[in-house]
Amino acid sequence: MIRTVGSLSQRPARLSFAWYVAAILSGTLLLLHPLSRQPEVAPISLLDALFTATSATCVTGLGVRSTAHDFSMFGQFVILVLMQVGGIGIMTVTTWVTFRFGGGQGLHQRTLLVDTLGTTDEETNLRWVLGRVLRLTLIFEGTGFVLLSARLLYDQPPLTALWHALFHTVSAFCNAGFALREDSLMIYQDDWLVNLTVMGLILVGGIGFPVILDIARNMHGPWIRRWDRLLLHSKIMLLGTASLLSLGFAAFLFLEWNGVMQDMPLHSRLLAAAFHSTTCRTAGFHTVEVGQLTQAMLFVTILLMLIGAGPCSAAGGFKVSTIFVLALRSWTTFRGHPQVTFGRRSIPLHLVERATATALLFASVVALALTLLLIVEHALASPDCQEPSFLESAFEIVSALCTVGLSTGLTGALSLPGRAIMIVLMFAGRLGPITMFAVLARPPQERVTRYASEEPLIG
Protein backbone atom coordinates (compact mmCIF):
# COMPACT_ATOMS: atom_id res chain seq x y z
CA MET A 1 0.00 0.00 0.00
CA ILE A 2 2.78 2.42 0.91
CA ARG A 3 4.56 1.56 -2.32
CA THR A 4 1.40 2.27 -4.32
CA VAL A 5 0.74 5.62 -2.60
CA GLY A 6 4.35 6.61 -3.05
CA SER A 7 4.19 5.79 -6.72
CA LEU A 8 1.04 7.89 -7.12
CA SER A 9 2.41 10.90 -5.27
CA GLN A 10 5.61 10.90 -7.29
CA ARG A 11 3.84 10.66 -10.65
CA PRO A 12 1.04 13.21 -11.25
CA ALA A 13 -0.25 11.26 -14.26
CA ARG A 14 -1.01 8.25 -12.09
CA LEU A 15 -2.64 10.40 -9.41
CA SER A 16 -4.86 12.02 -12.05
CA PHE A 17 -5.68 8.55 -13.39
CA ALA A 18 -6.62 7.34 -9.90
CA TRP A 19 -8.86 10.32 -9.18
CA TYR A 20 -10.76 9.97 -12.45
CA VAL A 21 -11.27 6.26 -11.82
CA ALA A 22 -12.58 7.02 -8.33
CA ALA A 23 -14.99 9.65 -9.67
CA ILE A 24 -16.30 7.35 -12.40
CA LEU A 25 -16.82 4.44 -10.01
CA SER A 26 -18.58 6.70 -7.49
CA GLY A 27 -20.84 8.05 -10.23
CA THR A 28 -21.58 4.54 -11.45
CA LEU A 29 -22.70 3.43 -7.99
CA LEU A 30 -24.92 6.49 -7.61
CA LEU A 31 -26.51 6.01 -11.03
CA LEU A 32 -27.23 2.37 -10.21
CA HIS A 33 -29.33 3.44 -7.22
CA PRO A 34 -33.11 3.32 -7.78
CA LEU A 35 -33.32 7.03 -6.86
CA SER A 36 -31.36 7.85 -10.03
CA ARG A 37 -33.99 6.54 -12.46
CA GLN A 38 -37.60 7.36 -13.16
CA PRO A 39 -40.05 5.06 -11.31
CA GLU A 40 -41.48 3.57 -14.51
CA VAL A 41 -38.06 2.95 -16.09
CA ALA A 42 -36.43 -0.50 -15.99
CA PRO A 43 -33.34 -0.78 -13.74
CA ILE A 44 -30.20 0.67 -15.27
CA SER A 45 -27.61 -2.01 -15.97
CA LEU A 46 -24.07 -1.83 -14.62
CA LEU A 47 -22.60 -1.25 -18.08
CA ASP A 48 -25.08 1.53 -18.88
CA ALA A 49 -24.39 3.23 -15.54
CA LEU A 50 -20.65 2.92 -16.10
CA PHE A 51 -21.02 4.28 -19.64
CA THR A 52 -23.03 7.28 -18.45
CA ALA A 53 -20.70 8.03 -15.53
CA THR A 54 -17.66 7.81 -17.78
CA SER A 55 -19.27 10.00 -20.43
CA ALA A 56 -20.20 12.64 -17.82
CA THR A 57 -16.88 12.63 -15.95
CA CYS A 58 -14.93 12.67 -19.20
CA VAL A 59 -17.27 15.43 -20.48
CA THR A 60 -18.10 13.52 -23.64
CA GLY A 61 -21.89 13.54 -23.91
CA LEU A 62 -22.41 10.20 -25.62
CA GLY A 63 -25.26 8.24 -24.10
CA VAL A 64 -26.89 4.85 -24.16
CA ARG A 65 -29.79 5.95 -21.93
CA SER A 66 -32.00 9.01 -22.20
CA THR A 67 -30.84 11.72 -19.80
CA ALA A 68 -34.26 13.36 -19.89
CA HIS A 69 -36.55 10.32 -19.67
CA ASP A 70 -34.58 7.53 -17.98
CA PHE A 71 -32.89 9.47 -15.19
CA SER A 72 -34.71 11.16 -12.33
CA MET A 73 -33.92 14.60 -10.95
CA PHE A 74 -31.39 12.98 -8.63
CA GLY A 75 -29.77 11.05 -11.48
CA GLN A 76 -29.54 14.20 -13.58
CA PHE A 77 -27.95 15.99 -10.62
CA VAL A 78 -25.34 13.23 -10.35
CA ILE A 79 -24.56 13.68 -14.05
CA LEU A 80 -24.29 17.45 -13.57
CA VAL A 81 -21.82 17.07 -10.68
CA LEU A 82 -19.73 14.59 -12.67
CA MET A 83 -19.64 17.01 -15.62
CA GLN A 84 -18.59 19.92 -13.42
CA VAL A 85 -15.87 18.00 -11.62
CA GLY A 86 -14.59 16.42 -14.81
CA GLY A 87 -14.81 19.67 -16.75
CA ILE A 88 -12.71 21.94 -14.57
CA GLY A 89 -10.46 19.04 -13.70
CA ILE A 90 -10.53 16.82 -10.65
CA MET A 91 -6.92 17.76 -9.96
CA THR A 92 -7.86 21.44 -9.88
CA VAL A 93 -10.62 20.83 -7.36
CA THR A 94 -8.63 18.52 -5.09
CA THR A 95 -5.53 20.73 -5.16
CA TRP A 96 -7.63 23.79 -4.28
CA VAL A 97 -9.28 21.93 -1.39
CA THR A 98 -5.85 20.89 -0.12
CA PHE A 99 -4.65 24.51 -0.08
CA ARG A 100 -7.93 25.86 1.30
CA PHE A 101 -7.94 23.57 4.33
CA GLY A 102 -4.34 23.71 5.40
CA GLY A 103 -2.36 22.03 2.64
CA GLY A 104 1.04 23.19 1.50
CA GLN A 105 2.52 24.51 -1.69
CA GLY A 106 5.32 22.04 -2.14
CA LEU A 107 6.93 20.73 -5.30
CA HIS A 108 4.31 17.99 -5.65
CA GLN A 109 1.40 20.48 -5.62
CA ARG A 110 3.20 22.73 -8.10
CA THR A 111 3.75 19.78 -10.44
CA LEU A 112 0.04 18.88 -10.31
CA LEU A 113 -0.96 22.46 -11.01
CA VAL A 114 1.39 22.79 -13.98
CA ASP A 115 0.12 19.46 -15.35
CA THR A 116 -3.55 20.47 -14.97
CA LEU A 117 -3.62 24.20 -15.74
CA GLY A 118 -0.49 24.71 -17.79
CA THR A 119 0.89 27.34 -15.41
CA THR A 120 4.57 28.17 -15.12
CA ASP A 121 6.96 27.85 -12.24
CA GLU A 122 7.01 31.64 -11.92
CA GLU A 123 3.38 31.62 -10.79
CA THR A 124 4.18 30.55 -7.26
CA ASN A 125 1.00 31.78 -5.57
CA LEU A 126 -0.97 28.61 -6.13
CA ARG A 127 -3.91 29.71 -4.00
CA TRP A 128 -4.31 32.77 -6.23
CA VAL A 129 -4.11 30.76 -9.45
CA LEU A 130 -6.58 28.10 -8.35
CA GLY A 131 -8.89 30.65 -6.77
CA ARG A 132 -8.84 32.66 -9.99
CA VAL A 133 -9.74 29.60 -12.04
CA LEU A 134 -12.69 28.75 -9.83
CA ARG A 135 -13.87 32.37 -9.73
CA LEU A 136 -13.70 32.62 -13.52
CA THR A 137 -15.65 29.38 -13.80
CA LEU A 138 -18.31 30.78 -11.47
CA ILE A 139 -18.48 34.06 -13.43
CA PHE A 140 -18.83 32.40 -16.84
CA GLU A 141 -21.32 29.79 -15.69
CA GLY A 142 -23.25 32.39 -13.68
CA THR A 143 -23.55 34.63 -16.72
CA GLY A 144 -24.66 31.73 -18.90
CA PHE A 145 -27.19 30.64 -16.29
CA VAL A 146 -28.77 34.10 -16.11
CA LEU A 147 -29.04 34.39 -19.90
CA LEU A 148 -30.50 30.92 -20.41
CA SER A 149 -32.87 31.33 -17.46
CA ALA A 150 -34.19 34.60 -18.88
CA ARG A 151 -34.98 32.83 -22.16
CA LEU A 152 -36.36 29.55 -20.81
CA LEU A 153 -38.68 31.24 -18.30
CA TYR A 154 -40.79 32.41 -21.27
CA ASP A 155 -41.97 28.92 -22.23
CA GLN A 156 -41.33 26.64 -19.24
CA PRO A 157 -42.46 26.50 -15.60
CA PRO A 158 -40.07 28.44 -13.32
CA LEU A 159 -38.43 25.46 -11.57
CA THR A 160 -38.08 23.50 -14.80
CA ALA A 161 -36.64 26.52 -16.60
CA LEU A 162 -34.08 27.18 -13.86
CA TRP A 163 -33.02 23.54 -13.72
CA HIS A 164 -32.68 23.27 -17.49
CA ALA A 165 -30.71 26.53 -17.57
CA LEU A 166 -28.32 25.32 -14.87
CA PHE A 167 -27.84 21.88 -16.41
CA HIS A 168 -27.19 23.17 -19.92
CA THR A 169 -24.92 25.95 -18.66
CA VAL A 170 -22.65 23.49 -16.86
CA SER A 171 -22.83 21.06 -19.77
CA ALA A 172 -21.87 23.80 -22.26
CA PHE A 173 -19.04 25.35 -20.24
CA CYS A 174 -17.60 21.91 -19.48
CA ASN A 175 -17.98 20.98 -23.16
CA ALA A 176 -19.96 17.90 -22.16
CA GLY A 177 -22.90 18.03 -24.56
CA PHE A 178 -25.46 16.40 -22.25
CA ALA A 179 -28.95 17.80 -22.81
CA LEU A 180 -32.31 17.36 -21.15
CA ARG A 181 -34.09 16.87 -24.46
CA GLU A 182 -33.92 13.94 -26.86
CA ASP A 183 -33.20 16.27 -29.77
CA SER A 184 -30.45 18.16 -27.90
CA LEU A 185 -31.03 21.85 -28.82
CA MET A 186 -32.85 21.39 -32.11
CA ILE A 187 -35.95 23.07 -30.72
CA TYR A 188 -33.85 26.25 -30.33
CA GLN A 189 -32.45 26.11 -33.85
CA ASP A 190 -33.65 29.67 -34.64
CA ASP A 191 -33.10 31.10 -31.16
CA TRP A 192 -30.17 33.53 -31.26
CA LEU A 193 -29.95 33.99 -27.48
CA VAL A 194 -29.75 30.27 -26.71
CA ASN A 195 -27.36 29.56 -29.59
CA LEU A 196 -24.99 32.44 -28.86
CA THR A 197 -24.99 31.77 -25.11
CA VAL A 198 -24.19 28.08 -25.55
CA MET A 199 -21.57 28.87 -28.21
CA GLY A 200 -19.92 31.41 -25.92
CA LEU A 201 -19.78 28.95 -23.03
CA ILE A 202 -18.34 26.25 -25.29
CA LEU A 203 -15.62 28.54 -26.62
CA VAL A 204 -14.62 29.84 -23.19
CA GLY A 205 -14.60 26.35 -21.69
CA GLY A 206 -12.61 24.96 -24.60
CA ILE A 207 -9.97 27.66 -25.08
CA GLY A 208 -8.09 26.57 -21.95
CA PHE A 209 -7.50 28.17 -18.54
CA PRO A 210 -3.93 29.31 -19.43
CA VAL A 211 -5.35 31.48 -22.24
CA ILE A 212 -8.14 32.85 -20.04
CA LEU A 213 -5.66 33.73 -17.28
CA ASP A 214 -3.27 35.30 -19.78
CA ILE A 215 -6.03 37.45 -21.31
CA ALA A 216 -7.20 38.48 -17.82
CA ARG A 217 -3.65 39.60 -16.97
CA ASN A 218 -3.46 41.80 -20.06
CA MET A 219 -6.84 43.52 -20.10
CA HIS A 220 -5.44 47.05 -19.71
CA GLY A 221 -3.86 49.30 -22.31
CA PRO A 222 -4.38 49.73 -26.10
CA TRP A 223 -5.55 46.68 -28.06
CA ILE A 224 -2.30 46.33 -30.00
CA ARG A 225 -0.32 46.36 -26.76
CA ARG A 226 -2.63 43.75 -25.25
CA TRP A 227 -1.94 41.45 -28.19
CA ASP A 228 1.82 41.99 -27.98
CA ARG A 229 1.87 41.16 -24.28
CA LEU A 230 0.05 37.84 -24.74
CA LEU A 231 2.05 34.63 -24.44
CA LEU A 232 2.84 32.74 -27.63
CA HIS A 233 0.48 29.94 -26.59
CA SER A 234 -2.41 32.38 -26.25
CA LYS A 235 -1.73 33.87 -29.69
CA ILE A 236 -1.58 30.41 -31.25
CA MET A 237 -4.82 29.36 -29.59
CA LEU A 238 -6.72 32.51 -30.55
CA LEU A 239 -5.57 32.47 -34.17
CA GLY A 240 -5.98 28.70 -34.51
CA THR A 241 -9.46 28.72 -32.97
CA ALA A 242 -10.61 31.55 -35.24
CA SER A 243 -9.24 29.75 -38.30
CA LEU A 244 -10.93 26.45 -37.46
CA LEU A 245 -14.25 28.14 -36.66
CA SER A 246 -14.15 29.90 -40.03
CA LEU A 247 -13.22 26.68 -41.82
CA GLY A 248 -16.03 24.71 -40.19
CA PHE A 249 -18.54 27.50 -40.85
CA ALA A 250 -17.66 27.72 -44.54
CA ALA A 251 -17.60 23.92 -44.98
CA PHE A 252 -21.02 23.50 -43.36
CA LEU A 253 -22.61 26.20 -45.51
CA PHE A 254 -21.11 24.78 -48.70
CA LEU A 255 -21.76 21.08 -48.03
CA GLU A 256 -25.17 21.36 -46.34
CA TRP A 257 -26.72 24.28 -48.26
CA ASN A 258 -28.98 21.85 -50.11
CA GLY A 259 -28.78 19.21 -47.39
CA VAL A 260 -30.09 19.54 -43.83
CA MET A 261 -30.43 23.32 -44.30
CA GLN A 262 -32.37 23.32 -47.55
CA ASP A 263 -35.65 24.38 -45.93
CA MET A 264 -34.12 26.97 -43.59
CA PRO A 265 -34.19 30.74 -44.12
CA LEU A 266 -30.84 32.48 -44.58
CA HIS A 267 -30.43 33.65 -40.97
CA SER A 268 -31.13 30.13 -39.69
CA ARG A 269 -28.56 28.66 -42.07
CA LEU A 270 -25.90 31.07 -40.85
CA LEU A 271 -26.75 30.35 -37.22
CA ALA A 272 -26.80 26.57 -37.73
CA ALA A 273 -23.44 26.65 -39.55
CA ALA A 274 -21.84 28.75 -36.81
CA PHE A 275 -23.24 26.51 -34.07
CA HIS A 276 -22.10 23.27 -35.72
CA SER A 277 -18.63 24.69 -36.37
CA THR A 278 -18.36 25.57 -32.67
CA THR A 279 -19.80 22.43 -31.14
CA CYS A 280 -18.29 19.78 -33.42
CA ARG A 281 -14.75 20.45 -32.20
CA THR A 282 -15.49 19.83 -28.58
CA ALA A 283 -19.01 19.99 -27.14
CA GLY A 284 -21.57 17.60 -28.65
CA PHE A 285 -24.72 19.72 -28.74
CA HIS A 286 -26.51 19.88 -32.07
CA THR A 287 -29.27 21.93 -33.68
CA VAL A 288 -29.48 19.79 -36.84
CA GLU A 289 -29.84 16.02 -37.21
CA VAL A 290 -26.27 14.70 -37.30
CA GLY A 291 -27.29 11.42 -38.89
CA GLN A 292 -28.67 13.32 -41.92
CA LEU A 293 -25.44 15.18 -42.71
CA THR A 294 -23.75 14.47 -46.02
CA GLN A 295 -20.83 12.04 -46.11
CA ALA A 296 -18.48 14.90 -46.91
CA MET A 297 -19.65 16.95 -43.91
CA LEU A 298 -19.36 13.94 -41.61
CA PHE A 299 -15.75 13.54 -42.71
CA VAL A 300 -14.99 17.25 -42.18
CA THR A 301 -16.60 16.97 -38.75
CA ILE A 302 -14.34 14.01 -37.94
CA LEU A 303 -11.28 16.11 -38.79
CA LEU A 304 -12.50 19.00 -36.61
CA MET A 305 -13.28 16.63 -33.75
CA LEU A 306 -9.79 15.16 -33.96
CA ILE A 307 -8.22 18.59 -33.55
CA GLY A 308 -10.46 19.58 -30.64
CA ALA A 309 -9.80 22.76 -28.67
CA GLY A 310 -7.16 23.93 -26.19
CA PRO A 311 -4.80 22.23 -23.72
CA CYS A 312 -5.72 22.42 -20.03
CA SER A 313 -9.38 22.91 -20.94
CA ALA A 314 -12.57 20.90 -20.74
CA ALA A 315 -12.18 19.84 -24.36
CA GLY A 316 -10.56 16.83 -25.97
CA GLY A 317 -8.78 16.13 -29.25
CA PHE A 318 -5.07 16.44 -29.91
CA LYS A 319 -5.50 20.21 -29.53
CA VAL A 320 -5.40 23.34 -31.67
CA SER A 321 -1.87 24.23 -30.56
CA THR A 322 -0.64 20.80 -31.69
CA ILE A 323 -1.96 21.14 -35.25
CA PHE A 324 -0.72 24.75 -35.35
CA VAL A 325 2.82 23.71 -34.41
CA LEU A 326 2.74 20.85 -36.94
CA ALA A 327 1.63 23.28 -39.66
CA LEU A 328 4.46 25.64 -38.71
CA ARG A 329 6.92 22.75 -38.78
CA SER A 330 5.81 21.75 -42.29
CA TRP A 331 5.95 25.32 -43.58
CA THR A 332 9.38 25.85 -42.05
CA THR A 333 10.70 22.61 -43.55
CA PHE A 334 9.43 23.48 -47.04
CA ARG A 335 11.12 26.87 -46.79
CA GLY A 336 14.39 25.22 -45.78
CA HIS A 337 14.67 26.79 -42.31
CA PRO A 338 15.93 24.64 -39.42
CA GLN A 339 14.17 26.54 -36.61
CA VAL A 340 10.38 26.79 -36.16
CA THR A 341 9.43 30.40 -35.40
CA PHE A 342 6.20 32.33 -34.97
CA GLY A 343 5.40 35.78 -33.61
CA ARG A 344 9.08 36.64 -33.18
CA ARG A 345 9.54 33.59 -30.98
CA SER A 346 11.33 30.28 -31.55
CA ILE A 347 9.52 27.04 -30.73
CA PRO A 348 11.84 24.45 -29.11
CA LEU A 349 12.49 21.25 -31.04
CA HIS A 350 11.29 19.04 -28.19
CA LEU A 351 7.82 20.68 -28.37
CA VAL A 352 7.69 20.03 -32.11
CA GLU A 353 8.59 16.39 -31.44
CA ARG A 354 5.91 16.17 -28.76
CA ALA A 355 3.30 17.60 -31.14
CA THR A 356 4.28 15.01 -33.75
CA ALA A 357 4.11 12.20 -31.20
CA THR A 358 0.69 13.36 -29.98
CA ALA A 359 -0.81 13.45 -33.47
CA LEU A 360 0.65 10.05 -34.38
CA LEU A 361 -0.54 8.55 -31.12
CA PHE A 362 -4.08 9.82 -31.68
CA ALA A 363 -4.09 8.43 -35.21
CA SER A 364 -2.82 5.06 -33.96
CA VAL A 365 -5.46 4.84 -31.23
CA VAL A 366 -8.22 5.74 -33.71
CA ALA A 367 -7.01 3.10 -36.19
CA LEU A 368 -6.78 0.39 -33.50
CA ALA A 369 -10.14 1.21 -31.90
CA LEU A 370 -11.90 1.44 -35.27
CA THR A 371 -10.52 -1.94 -36.30
CA LEU A 372 -11.66 -3.55 -33.04
CA LEU A 373 -15.12 -1.97 -33.25
CA LEU A 374 -15.66 -3.10 -36.84
CA ILE A 375 -14.53 -6.64 -35.97
CA VAL A 376 -16.72 -6.82 -32.86
CA GLU A 377 -19.84 -5.44 -34.51
CA HIS A 378 -19.35 -7.72 -37.53
CA ALA A 379 -18.95 -10.81 -35.33
CA LEU A 380 -21.99 -10.01 -33.19
CA ALA A 381 -24.29 -8.64 -35.90
CA SER A 382 -27.54 -10.53 -36.32
CA PRO A 383 -28.95 -11.42 -39.78
CA ASP A 384 -31.75 -8.87 -39.27
CA CYS A 385 -29.43 -6.06 -38.20
CA GLN A 386 -27.29 -4.12 -40.65
CA GLU A 387 -23.66 -3.59 -39.73
CA PRO A 388 -22.57 0.01 -39.13
CA SER A 389 -20.78 1.65 -42.03
CA PHE A 390 -17.10 2.51 -41.93
CA LEU A 391 -17.75 6.27 -41.78
CA GLU A 392 -20.38 5.94 -39.03
CA SER A 393 -18.04 3.78 -36.97
CA ALA A 394 -15.14 6.19 -37.49
CA PHE A 395 -17.38 9.10 -36.49
CA GLU A 396 -18.39 7.45 -33.20
CA ILE A 397 -14.82 6.38 -32.42
CA VAL A 398 -13.40 9.87 -32.93
CA SER A 399 -16.31 11.44 -31.03
CA ALA A 400 -15.58 9.21 -28.03
CA LEU A 401 -11.78 9.54 -28.08
CA CYS A 402 -11.91 13.31 -28.53
CA THR A 403 -14.69 13.63 -25.90
CA VAL A 404 -17.01 15.46 -28.31
CA GLY A 405 -20.28 13.58 -27.89
CA LEU A 406 -21.81 14.00 -31.35
CA SER A 407 -23.41 10.83 -32.66
CA THR A 408 -25.05 9.62 -35.83
CA GLY A 409 -27.22 7.37 -33.63
CA LEU A 410 -24.87 4.40 -33.66
CA THR A 411 -23.73 4.48 -30.01
CA GLY A 412 -27.07 3.35 -28.57
CA ALA A 413 -27.18 0.42 -31.01
CA LEU A 414 -23.70 -0.91 -30.22
CA SER A 415 -23.18 -4.33 -28.70
CA LEU A 416 -21.90 -4.70 -25.13
CA PRO A 417 -18.26 -5.16 -26.25
CA GLY A 418 -18.70 -2.17 -28.55
CA ARG A 419 -19.88 -0.03 -25.65
CA ALA A 420 -16.92 -1.23 -23.58
CA ILE A 421 -14.58 -0.02 -26.32
CA MET A 422 -16.27 3.38 -26.25
CA ILE A 423 -15.88 3.59 -22.46
CA VAL A 424 -12.13 2.99 -22.72
CA LEU A 425 -11.87 5.58 -25.50
CA MET A 426 -13.73 8.25 -23.51
CA PHE A 427 -11.51 7.67 -20.50
CA ALA A 428 -8.32 7.70 -22.56
CA GLY A 429 -9.49 10.80 -24.41
CA ARG A 430 -10.14 12.78 -21.22
CA LEU A 431 -6.75 11.99 -19.73
CA GLY A 432 -5.07 12.13 -23.12
CA PRO A 433 -3.20 9.25 -24.75
CA ILE A 434 0.12 10.78 -23.70
CA THR A 435 -1.00 10.74 -20.06
CA MET A 436 -2.32 7.19 -20.42
CA PHE A 437 1.03 6.02 -21.69
CA ALA A 438 2.77 7.94 -18.90
CA VAL A 439 0.58 6.09 -16.39
CA LEU A 440 1.57 2.69 -17.75
CA ALA A 441 5.15 3.40 -18.75
CA ARG A 442 8.20 2.72 -16.66
CA PRO A 443 10.39 5.66 -15.52
CA PRO A 444 12.90 6.79 -18.17
CA GLN A 445 16.22 4.98 -18.01
CA GLU A 446 19.56 6.15 -19.32
CA ARG A 447 21.05 3.91 -21.99
CA VAL A 448 24.54 2.75 -21.17
CA THR A 449 25.28 1.67 -24.73
CA ARG A 450 25.26 4.27 -27.50
CA TYR A 451 25.09 3.14 -31.13
CA ALA A 452 26.33 4.76 -34.30
CA SER A 453 23.71 6.87 -36.07
CA GLU A 454 22.31 6.08 -39.49
CA GLU A 455 19.60 7.90 -41.44
CA PRO A 456 16.77 5.94 -43.14
CA LEU A 457 15.13 7.34 -46.25
CA ILE A 458 12.01 9.44 -45.56
CA GLY A 459 9.35 10.19 -48.15
Residues facing 346 on adjacent strands? 341
Q: Is 334 within a domain? A: yes
pLDDT value at position 444?
Answer: 56
Minimal CA–CA distance to 396: which of 375, 416, 423, 435? 423
Question: Can you give the pLDDT at residue 153?
Answer: 92
Number of domains making up the chain: 2
- Asked whether the predicted pLDDT for residue 148 surpasses 90, the reply is yes
Asked if residue 387 is part of any domain, the answer here is yes
Residue 58 lies in a domain: yes
pLDDT for 132 beyond 60: yes
**What is the domain extent for residue 5?**
1-88
> pLDDT band for position 429 (50/70/90)?
confident
The rounded percent of the chain whose pLDDT value lies above 90 is 50
Kindly state whether residue 177 falls inside one of the protein's structural domains.
no
- Has residue 55 been placed in a domain? yes
3-state secondary structure of 71: strand
**What digits encode the pLDDT tens for the residues 71-126?**
999 999 999 999 998 888 765 665 555 555 555 555 555 655 555 555 555 554 56
CB 298 within 8 A of CB 289: no
Residue 37 in this model has a pLDDT that exceeds 60: yes
Phi/psi at 345 (5° precision): -135, 150
Confidence at residue 9, expressed as pLDDT on a 0 to 100 scale:
45
CATH of the domain at 60: 1.10.287.70
* Boundary of a domain, candidates 88, 104, 126: 88
* pLDDT tens sequence across 158-215: 999 999 999 999 999 999 989 998 888 999 999 999 999 999 999 999 888 888 888 8
Contact 401, 395 (CB under 8 A): no
CATH number for the domain that contains residue 418: 1.10.287
> Could you give the CA distance from residue 225 to residue 179 in angstroms, rounded to a whole number?
41
Q: How many other C-beta atoms are found inside a 10 Å radius of the C-beta of residue 386?
A: 9
Higher pLDDT pick, 383 / 345: 345
- According to the model, what pLDDT value does residue 97 have? 54
Q: Which of 37, 60, 88 is the last residue of a domain?
A: 88
- Residue range 228-251: mean pLDDT, rounded: 92
Q: 162 lies in a domain?
A: no
In tens, the pLDDT along 284-310 reads 899 999 989 999 999 999 999 999 888
Task: Write out pLDDT tens, residues 14-23.
Answer: 667 788 899 9
Report if residue 239 sits inside a domain: no
Which of 71, 88, 105 is the C-terminal boundary of a domain?
A: 88
Within-domain flag for 228: no
